[in-house]
């Protein structure tokens, strides 16, 4: 049973003047001609710009090639799908019966398109400035965790090197849940360190990806605490 869209909009910190835009953003093309593809097109356009501008400001000395690779590491199908899984988007997607039976609510392409469609819906409902603010909030932890000296290393390696350099215990990763069919599973993993009590949960299509995301969130917290 599909959960009420307003529950998801509340989780995402969104209030729509015209809720039908949000409902449309969650509606897959398998439901017919009225679907989220046009909103996804709009959202994709602003997402690339907002992330590019954020990276431009965060790394004033980085050349164009590095900025492009950094943006690609944030704005891609799997990254967006992981954000969607973190908020259980699959429970709210409006899919046709065939797509529903085939597990479309777990498919990375459908999840990532819905995230971008929500961005498009915010533009239509509230304007570009509000959409930009929401995107920056959504990606805040991932942007904060980026550093030019080590951004090409995976988050688990960066976190472990940070802790070892300070003679602290290495991170612990605990599997919280593993759901879905064998070929389309979703993993949730919790990362904890002795540096502070707070724990972070990562979500991914494999345990490794979930661990990497939880490490990335932990690195973002460390970055905020060190400011």
Q: Among 44, 99, 125, 141, which one carries the catalytic annotation?
A: 44
Residue 204 β-bridge partners: 187
Specify the length of the chain in residues: 227
Q: Is 61 annotated as a binding residue?
A: no
pLDDT for 1 beyond 70 = no
Cα–Cα distances (Å) from 178 to 67, 107, 204, 206, 218, in that order, read 35, 16, 10, 9, 21
Residue 172 assigned as binding residue: no
User: Where do the CATH 1.10.1520.10 domains begin and end in the chain?
Assistant: 1-141
Burial class (CB in 10 A: 0-12, 13-18, 19+), 85: buried
Rounded to whole angstroms, the Cα distance separating 224 from 227 reads 6
| Of 61, 64, 99, 116, catalytic | 116
Strand-pair partners of 196: 193
Q: What pLDDT, on the 0 to 100 scale, is given for residue 145?
A: 82
Q: Residues 148, 69: contact at Cβ < 8 Å?
A: no
- Judge whether 116 counts as a catalytic residue: yes
* Reported confidence tier of residue 178, pLDDT bands at 50, 70, 90: very high
Domain 1-141 falls under CATH 1.10.1520.10: yes
User: Per residue in 86-114, pLDDT tens?
Assistant: 888 989 999 998 887 888 788 889 999 99
- Looking at residue 151, what is its pLDDT? 67
113 in a labelled binding site: yes
User: pLDDT digit string (tens) for 126-145?
Assistant: 999 999 999 999 999 889 88
What stretch(es) of the chain map to CATH 3.30.160.20? 145-227
Pick the CATH number of 145-227 from 3.30.160.20, 3.30.70.1150, 3.40.50.720, 3.30.390.10: 3.30.160.20
Write out pLDDT tens, residues 19-64: 999 999 999 999 999 999 999 999 999 999 999 999 999 999 998 9
Average pLDDT of the chain to the nearest whole number: 90
Instruction: Specify the residue for token string 């000296």.
Output: 149
- Is the pLDDT at 197 greater than 90, yes or no? no
Average pLDDT over residues 192-211: 88
């Amino acid at each position: 049973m599909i959960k009420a869209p307003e529950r998801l909009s509340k989780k995402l910190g969104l209030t729509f003047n015209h809720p039908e835009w949000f409902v449309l953003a969650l509606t897959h093309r398998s439901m017919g001609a009225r679907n989220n593809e046009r909103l996804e097109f709009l959202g994709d356009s602003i997402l690339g710009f907002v992330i590019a501008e954020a990276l431009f400001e965060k790394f004033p000395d980085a050349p164009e090639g590095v900025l492009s690779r950094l943006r690609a590491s944030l704005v891609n199908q799997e990254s967006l799908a992981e954000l969607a899984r973190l908020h259980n988007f699959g429970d709210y997607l409006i899919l046709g019966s065939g797509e529903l039976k085939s597990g479309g609510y777990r498919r990375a392409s459908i999840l990532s398109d819905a995230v971008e469609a929500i961005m498009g819906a915010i533009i239509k409902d509230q304007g570009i400035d509000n959409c930009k603010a929401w995107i920056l909030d959504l990606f805040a932890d991932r942007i904060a965790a980026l550093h030019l000296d080590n951004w090409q290393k995976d988050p688990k390696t960066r976190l472990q090197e940070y802790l070892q350099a300070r003679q602290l215990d290495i991170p612990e990763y605990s599997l919280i849940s593993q759901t879905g069919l064998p070929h389309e599973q979703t993993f949730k993993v919790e990362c904890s360190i002795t540096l502070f009590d707070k724990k972070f949960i990562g979500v991914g299509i494999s345990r490794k990806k979930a661990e990497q995301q939880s490490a990335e969130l932990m690195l973002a917290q460390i970055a905020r605490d060190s400011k």
